[in-house]
């Protein structure tokens, strides 16, 4: 199976380069984006001779589409159509190529799986769905909900064309909707990698900002749960069989939620998450505008009222309770597990080196915590690698973790704008669904999540 590398300009050494799967093979397997185009991935090969067998495979984020109309709109964007993919991808955090920011993983093979299915790499609907084209309602397009097939095709391509069959260490990771995909598909990917890479010694998963809580809005509406159920059903999402077996048949859709899928997963995991995630406070709790007022990232809750803070602390408590009885029961307590859960107002902050290096709990940074967990032998108590958030204070400055201010100070009150930064009252207009500092999509995690056409929240996006 061949792949096609596309390079339209001089590529900075730190950027990942786009590869598209061969169109005929994608079509034969039905492993296509929403619009039927072949999927793709971004890659930077290992930069040291002793890391060629080490891989990070990272699932891109960008919300979901929960209706044919929202998916048809999404199919005309980079979130559903590979002809709209950028030729290169800048990203930091665990995929940063700079040793000073990412000492453990900087020289590994780095791969970002481009997200073009709208269902967290989980859909497997057999038939295509004809639907009016959002750009020309007089004609129909065919929508394909094939995220799980896309995932399999891209993993096979990494093995067959890039030598992943020689892998000794593999980290599956992902941010936001890709973080949810990591929770959902970690065991499936692990089975595939183990079967194709006989020398594999270590396989673990790192979901980033992917633990979305099925929580009502401040006004008591179950917007998020309804949207996720609709996404699950529309995409015919494939989830953990073990999770489904634990629930009545009518509740199988709940396995599309992180808390249910995480509880049933066998892959060792190190979730990275804020207990008061900006996206969740904005889109699930619906507590304010994106990066505005009380939810301004740079201010870190400094201008929030006591009523808002109590609501946020209640949300954080509910999230931790859903995680396994406040991390005291089930999977979070098993040897080899870990987590880094802070209280910073952020979303996918791991993708920015300022936050990856800067956010800390008990003087251990996010980067240090992840590196220590990865280096562990898998038998250490989970408590040794689990970092807890603090509770927001009702008295100023409200933010209980000083490191949240350290990272925010490097960007200013609203964070860097970059070439795709904020575009007015509707929020950021970047295109990559990350918070990478500078470059494409700087601090624009909600560009794809809630402001791109085809987003599922708030009735298909504001």
Which tens digits make up the pLDDT trace of 351-372?
Answer: 999 999 999 999 999 999 999 9
pLDDT of residue 324: 78
What is the band of 327 on the pLDDT scale with cuts at 50, 70, 90?
Answer: low
| pLDDT tier, 407 (very low <50, low <70, confident <90, very high otherwise) | low
Residues counted in the chain: 462
Local confidence band at 427 (pLDDT 50, 70, 90 cut-offs): very low
Other beta carbons less than 10 A from residue 130's beta carbon: 11
pLDDT band at 108 (very low <50, low <70, confident <90, very high): very high
What percentage of the chain reaches a pLDDT higher than 70?
A: 84
The string of DSSP letters for 48-109 reads SGGGTTEEEEEE-------SHHHHHHHTTSTTT-GGG--SEE---GGG---TTT-TTTTTSE
d(CA 224, CA 87): 33
CA–CA separation, 269 and 410 (whole Å): 30
* 259-301 per-position pLDDT tens digit: 999 999 999 999 999 999 999 999 999 999 999 999 999 999 9
pLDDT tens digits, residue range 2-57?
433 333 334 445 799 999 999 999 999 999 999 999 999 999 999 999 999 999 99
pLDDT band of 434, cuts 50, 70, 90? very low
pLDDT band at 328 (very low <50, low <70, confident <90, very high): confident
What phi, psi does 221 have (nearest 5°)? -90, 140
pLDDT for position 323: 87
Task: Give the three-class secondary structure for 148.
Answer: helix
Residue 247: what pLDDT?
95
pTM of the full structure: 0.89
Tell me the mean pLDDT in the region 155-162.
Answer: 97
pLDDT of residue 460: 31
Return the pLDDT at 415. Answer: 32
Helix (H/G/I), strand (E/B), else coil: 438: coil
pLDDT interval class at 197 (50, 70, 90): very high
139-158 mean pLDDT: 98
The percentage of the chain sitting over the pLDDT mark of 90, rounded to a whole number, equals 82
- pLDDT band of residue 250 (cuts 50, 70, 90) is very high
Residue pair 209/63 in contact by the 8 Å Cβ criterion: no
319 pLDDT above the threshold of 60: yes
For 249-264, what is the mean pLDDT? 95
Instruction: Report the pLDDT value the prediction gives residue 60, as an integer from 0 to 100.
Output: 98
Residue 425 has pLDDT above 60, yes or no: no
What is the C-alpha separation between 237 and 67, in angstroms, rounded? 14
- Would you state the pLDDT for residue 419? 24
Q: Residue 326 has what pLDDT? A: 65
What pLDDT sits at residue 330? 87
- Alpha carbons 371 and 349: distance in angstroms, whole number: 16
What is the mean pLDDT of the segment spanning 394-421?
65
**Coil, helix or strand at residue 337:** coil
- Find tokens 């890709």 and name the residue: 178
What is the average pLDDT score of the chain? 87
410 pLDDT band, cuts 50/70/90, is low
75-99 residue pLDDT tens: 999 999 999 999 999 999 999 999 9
Backbone angles phi, psi at 13, to 5 degrees: -60, -25
pLDDT level of residue 406 (50, 70, 90 thresholds): confident
pLDDT of residue 86: 97
Cβ-contact 180, 207 below 8 angstroms: yes
Distance CA 82, CA 227 (A): 25
Say if residues 300 and 398 touch (Cβ distance below 8 Å): yes
Mean pLDDT to the nearest integer, 305-320: 97
- At 220, the pLDDT band (50, 70, 90 cuts) reads very high
Q: Would you call the peptide bond into 397 cis, given omega within 30 degrees of 0 as the criterion? A: yes
Contacts (Cβ under 8 Å, ≥6 apart) of 278: 290, 291, 295, 297, 345, 346, 347, 445
Per residue in 376-403, pLDDT (tens digit) is 999 999 999 999 999 999 999 999 999 9
Q: Which ranges of 147-284 does DSSP label H, i.e. alpha helix?
A: 147-162, 177-196, 223-235, 241-245, 258-264, 278-279
């Amino acid at each position: 199976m061949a792949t096609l590398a596309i390079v339209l300009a001089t590529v900075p050494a730190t950027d990942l380069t786009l590869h598209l799967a061969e169109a005929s093979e994608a079509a034969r397997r039905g492993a296509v984006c929403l619009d039927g185009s072949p999927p793709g991935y971004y890659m930077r090969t290992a930069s040291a001779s002793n890391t060629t067998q080490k891989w990070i495979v990272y699932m891109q984020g960008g919300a979901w589409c929960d209706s044919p109309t929202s998916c048809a709109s999404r199919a005309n964007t980079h979130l559903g159509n590979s002809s709209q993919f950028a030729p290169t991808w800048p990203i930091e955090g665990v995929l940063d190529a700079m040793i000073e920011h990412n000492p453990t993983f900087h020289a590994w093979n780095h791969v970002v799986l481009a997200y073009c299915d709208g269902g967290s790499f989980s859909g497997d609907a057999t038939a295509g769905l004809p639907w009016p084209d959002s750009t020309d309602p007089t004609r129909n397009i065919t929508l394909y909900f094939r995220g799980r097939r896309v995932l399999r095709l891209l993993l096979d391509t990494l093995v067959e064309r890039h030598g992943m069959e020689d892998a000794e260490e593999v980290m599956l990771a992902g941010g936001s909707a890709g973080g949810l995909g990591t929770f959902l598909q970690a065991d499936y990917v692990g089975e595939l990698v183990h079967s194709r890479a006989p020398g594999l010694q270590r396989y673990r998963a790192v979901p980033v900002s992917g633990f979305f809580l099925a929580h009502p809005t401040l006004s008591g509406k179950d917007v998020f749960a309804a949207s996720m159920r609709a996404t699950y059903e529309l995409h015919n999402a494939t989830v953990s069989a073990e999770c489904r077996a634990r629930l009545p048949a009518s509740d199988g859709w709940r396995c599309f939620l992180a808390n249910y899928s995480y509880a049933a997963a066998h892959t060792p995991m190190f979730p990275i998450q804020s207990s008061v995630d900006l996206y969740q406070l904005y889109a699930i709790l619906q507590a304010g505008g994106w990066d505005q007022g009380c939810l301004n990232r740079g201010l870190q809750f400094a201008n929030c009222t006591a009523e808002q803070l109590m609501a946020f602390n209640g949300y954080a408590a509910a999230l931790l309770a859903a995680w396994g009885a406040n991390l005291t029961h089930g999977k979070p307590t098993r040897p080899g597990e870990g987590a880094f859960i802070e209280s910073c107002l952020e979303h996918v902050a791991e993708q920015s080196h300022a936050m990856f290096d800067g956010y800390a709990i008990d003087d251990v940074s996010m980067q240090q915590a992840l590196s220590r967990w990865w280096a562990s032998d898998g038998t250490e108590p989970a408590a040794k690698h689990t970092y807890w958030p603090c509770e927001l204070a009702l008295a100023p400055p409200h933010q209980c973790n000083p490191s949240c201010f350290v990272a925010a100070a490097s960007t200013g009150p609203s964070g860097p704008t970059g070439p795709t930064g904020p575009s007015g009252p509707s929020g950021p207009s970047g295109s990559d669904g990350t918070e990478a500092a500078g470059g494409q999509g700087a601090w624009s995690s909600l560009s794809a999540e809630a402001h791109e056409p085809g987003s599922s929240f708030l009735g298909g996006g504001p």
